Amino acid sequence: MVALYDTLARAVVPVDPAGDTLTMYSCGPTVYRYAHIGNLRTFLMADLIRRAFEYQGVTVHQVQNITDVGHMTDELTDSGRDRMELAVQDEGKSAQEIADYYTQAFLDDTAAFNIQRAVDYPKASDYIPQMIELNAKLLERGHAYEVGGTVYFDTASFPAYGRLSGNTLEQLQTGHRKEIGDTNKRHHADFVLWMNAGPHRLITFDSPWGKGYPGWHIECSAMSMAAFGESFDLHTGGEDNVFPHHEDEIAQSEGAVGHQVVAHWVHGAHLLSEGRKMAKSAQNFYELRDLKERGHTEPLAARLLYLQSRYRAQMNFTLDGLTAAERTLDRWRRLIANWAGDPQGGSSVDAYEKRFVEAMNDDLDTPAIMALVSEVTGDDKVGRADRAALLQRWDRFLGLDLGRDVGKTVEVPAMVLELIEQREKARTKKDYSTADRVRHKILSLGFEVEDTPDGPKPRPRAR
């Protein structure tokens, strides 16, 4: 079965669902802005895990949260306002409108990336009562304390703190986070479960501790347990989520129910740009819409690029790498389109299939799978239709839309290429009557010319 690198076990371990289906909770987007393509890499990892199980007949019940409220980062901005509130100010819309808009943008982007829809996308703002209930439970069980309307998790009450990230209480030095300025904390590692709103906060909720809003981590404890109960199989996120987000989530969930809740934790490594983590704050990010504006109109080429690295290796994104991936994707699609019409060759592809499944189950070894795809495309001992069918089958995992009808590749006669050049020359000289005459000649030879940002492209004339 599928084995994955479990951050908690610090090893690649087999991941077996406890029940009939694999229950998986994935940390989702904060919806005060567009996702960047680094975020998409983390969401893709969850999709690949899911597809690996589904490829082998296991149903996956995936839930992904939408963070539309709360302490959206563990550091407040300089002005002491959270990011959603700043977006409200900048965009002149309500928080609800902003959240709805960017939630839809997230769904569009993930769909363009062929990331399958989760069963449910719970919104944090719909789970305030569950978060309040969790806080109450933690207070009752002695894992939390309240000071002036703010509720803190008492890390000293939870000896397992640090098990996931290695940041045990002894190791955490004073000053590891900005909140150290908060003198109400008993221990510097204690974190906010519920925050007193103060006079300037726009979005607040009533609670037994007065008006406030939830801490960042409590939403994932509340929503994951609302979805799956007190235990589930797998929790995913990006590597920056390990600490403090997931460390704190473990403390909250286990503190509330008194036993282990998540069986396996899997984290994706960051996408880098110019050698640094791609991030909004670092100004080194791309969104899918930026790539499109630069003429990179096929998002699945980025998906292919990501597959060339394993999910837990950091990878540096470059536009050159993306261009190369576009060519590879186009080539594979064309081969399949050309081969699919051939009669089945009856060749055995069992050995290839075995290697594919082994690589997939070996902690999603997608670089090995990419090499395998190249090997298959060049293996003339296997019938062409059999190769096409095999690659399309693997596409259930890869999600590259390899079967897309890109049309058969047609040899363009030298004569047509020459005429295209003549037409370009005439157009540069603004001699449009000659250009048009040449275009008709090209048409009479059965081709038409499409003017693309990369220059003129010949294609067989539409009938």
Strands 150-153, 144-147: pairing is antiparallel
The partner in contact with residue 255, picked from Zn ion, ligand AMP, none with C-beta cut-offs of 5 to 8 angstroms by kind, is: none
Write the interaction track for Zn ion spanning residues 166-205; mark x where CB under 5 A is met and - where it is not: ----------------------------------------
**Which residue, judged by CB position, is nearest to ligand AMP in the bound state?**
238
The partner in contact with residue 220, picked from Zn ion, ligand AMP, none with C-beta cut-offs of 5 to 8 angstroms by kind, is: Zn ion
Residue 123 touches ligand AMP, criterion: CB under 6 A:
no
Strand partners, 235: 25, 265
Q: Which residue lies nearer to Zn ion by CB, 125 or 366?
A: 125
Write out the binding residues for Zn ion, residues 216-275 only, by CB under 5 A: 220
Cα dihedral 428, 434, 439, 443 in deg (nearest 10): -160
The values of phi and psi at residue 238, to 5°, are -85, 165
Q: Which residue lies nearer to ligand AMP by CB, 66 or 435?
A: 66
* The one among 8, 251, 278, 369 contacting ligand AMP by CB under 6 A: 278
User: Whole-number minimum distance, CB 312 to ligand AMP, in Å?
Assistant: 11
Cα dihedral 424, 425, 426, 430 in deg (nearest 10): 90
User: Whole-number minimum distance, CB 26 to ligand AMP, in Å?
Assistant: 8
Strands 315-317, 276-277: pairing is unpaired
Residue 31 touches Zn ion, criterion: CB under 5 A:
no
Residue 270 touches ligand AMP, criterion: CB under 6 A:
yes
The partner in contact with residue 29, picked from ligand AMP, Zn ion, none with C-beta cut-offs of 5 to 8 angstroms by kind, is: ligand AMP
Please count the residues of this chain forming the interface with Zn ion, following the rule CB under 5 A.
2
* Pair of tokens at residue 349: 């592809």
Q: Measured between alpha carbons, how far apart are the two ends of the chain, in Å?
A: 50
Strands 212-214, 191-196: pairing is antiparallel
Please count the residues of this chain forming the interface with ligand AMP, following the rule CB under 6 A.
17
Strands 191-196, 150-153: pairing is antiparallel
Write the interaction track for ligand AMP spanning residues 234-253; mark x where CB under 6 A is met and - where it is not: ---xx-xx------------
Residue 167 touches ligand AMP, criterion: CB under 6 A:
no
| DSSP state for residue 452 in the 8-state scheme | E
User: Whole-number minimum distance, CB 75 to Zn ion, in Å?
Assistant: 16
User: Whole-number minimum distance, CB 98 to Zn ion, in Å?
Assistant: 20
Torsion sign (Cα): 403, 407, 410, 414:
negative
Sheet holding 315-317, edge to edge: 276-277, 271-273, 315-317
Give one DSSP letter per residue of 3-56, joined into a string.
EEEETTTTEEEE---SSSSEEEEE---BTTSPPPHHHHHHHHHHHHHHHHHHHT
User: Whole-number minimum distance, CB 249 to Zn ion, in Å?
Assistant: 7
Strand partners, 5: 12
Residue 364 touches Zn ion, criterion: CB under 5 A:
no
* Pair of tokens at residue 84: 């959603």
Residue 42 touches ligand AMP, criterion: CB under 6 A:
yes
Query: What are the b/e assignments for 380-414, b being 16+ CB within 10 Å?
Result: eebbbbbbbbbbeebbebbbbbbeeebeeeeeeee
The partner in contact with residue 38, picked from ligand AMP, Zn ion, none with C-beta cut-offs of 5 to 8 angstroms by kind, is: ligand AMP
Residue 305 touches ligand AMP, criterion: CB under 6 A:
no
CA–CA separation, 102 vs 121, rounded Å? 13
* The one among 4, 22, 23, 41 contacting ligand AMP by CB under 6 A: 41
* The one among 2, 4, 15, 27 contacting Zn ion by CB under 5 A: 27
CA–CA separation, 402 vs 341, rounded Å? 15
Q: Which part of the chain contacts ligand AMP (CB under 6 A), choosing from 119-127, 172-180, 267-275, 297-305?
A: 267-275
Chain residues that interact with Zn ion, rule: CB under 5 A: 27, 220
Chain residues that interact with ligand AMP, rule: CB under 6 A: 27, 29-30, 38-39, 41-42, 237-238, 240-241, 268, 270-271, 277-279
